[in-house]
Amino acid sequence: MSKKYERTSTTLFVSRIMREVKYLAAELHEHRYYLERNVERRTAQLQKRIEILESCNANLCRNLALSQRELAAMQYLHTTGGTETDNAPAKLYILKTGEQIKHAAVA
């Protein structure tokens, strides 16, 4: 065998390092792929949760506005001495202090 093709310890070391670099590059690529996939999946989950929370918040705001209107109407009736119809449903009275909540039938 000619000296030109003779493998020295240096060339064996370099070829081993090159194999390791290729292996590590492939492993890095694989980890990046799985991380990107996990980020996309978790982002989608968080987006769904945000949509649900925004929907709940909108419903709560509507219910609060409705309750405030009902409370204002009841306070107006109470101060003016007016009465509601005999078939009035049970209403939720929220006291100004916010400490007590009681149900009472308005009749």
DSSP string, the chain: --GGGPPPHHHHHHHHHHHHHHHHHHHHHHHHHHHHHHHHHHHHHHHHHHHHHHHHHHHHHHHHHHHHHHHHHHHHHHHHT----TTPPEEEEE-TTSS-EEEEE--
- Please state the pTM of the whole predicted model: 0.49
Per-residue pLDDT band at 39 (split at 50, 70, 90): very high
pLDDT for 8 equals 77
- Confidence check: pLDDT of 90 > 70: no
- Confidence check: pLDDT of 27 > 90: yes
Q: What percent of the chain has pLDDT over 90?
A: 50
